[in-house]
Amino acid sequence: MLVLALFQEKERQKQEKRDSIEMRRKEAEERKQKLEQERVQKRQRKTERLEKKRQREEEAAERKRARVKAMAEEAAAAHFCANCGERGLVDDEERSVEWYECDGCECWYHGECLTQYGLIMAVTSLCYGDEWTCKRCNPW
């Protein structure tokens, strides 16, 4: 009987030890998970912050693009070629369509709508900062 009690006591102690080890392991595991969770949340917050910043920048860039486009459209629509009557297009500059303004009547001309001589005069006057007048203002 005594032997059995002793044996049971030993078993109980062993079990207790196992339990406490198990408990510590669990605690450590939970701590680890919590830390991991915090890390993930921190990362998420950082990603969200970055995403918001990127969005703000994108919106600002978009607004700027819209402003520039509106201005270009306005400027293009405001002048039309006094020779062919075509209005300026927003992408004129990209298509290297050149425009020259007469300093007399303030009319605009496509470079290609000027005579060769007129174009040379217009380009030269731009180069030297001279005035250039169209054929109507100054019939050479």
By CB under 5 A, name the binding residues for Zn ion: 81, 83-84, 102, 104-105, 107, 110, 113, 134, 137
**Residue 104 phi, psi (nearest 5):** -85, -65
User: Please, which residue, 83 or 122, has the CB nearer to Zn ion?
Assistant: 83
CB of 72 to Zn ion, least distance (A): 19
Please say whether the beta carbons of 108 and 80 come within 8 A.
yes
Closest approach of Zn ion to the CB of residue 130, in Å: 15
Contact at 8 Å (CB) between 134 and 82? yes
Q: Of 102 and 121, which has the nearer Cβ to Zn ion? A: 102
Phi and psi torsions of 136, nearest 5°: -70, -35
Compute the least distance from the CB of residue 49 to Zn ion, in Å.
53
For Zn ion, the closer CB: 72 or 89: 89
Between 100 and 110, CB nearer to Zn ion? 110
Give the total residue count for the chain.
140
How far is residue 96's CA from residue 69's CA, in Å, rounded to a whole number? 17
Q: Is 115 helix (H, G, I), strand (E, B) or coil?
A: coil
User: Could you identify the residue written with the tokens 């470079």?
Assistant: 111
- Nearest approach, Cβ of 63 to Zn ion (angstroms)? 33
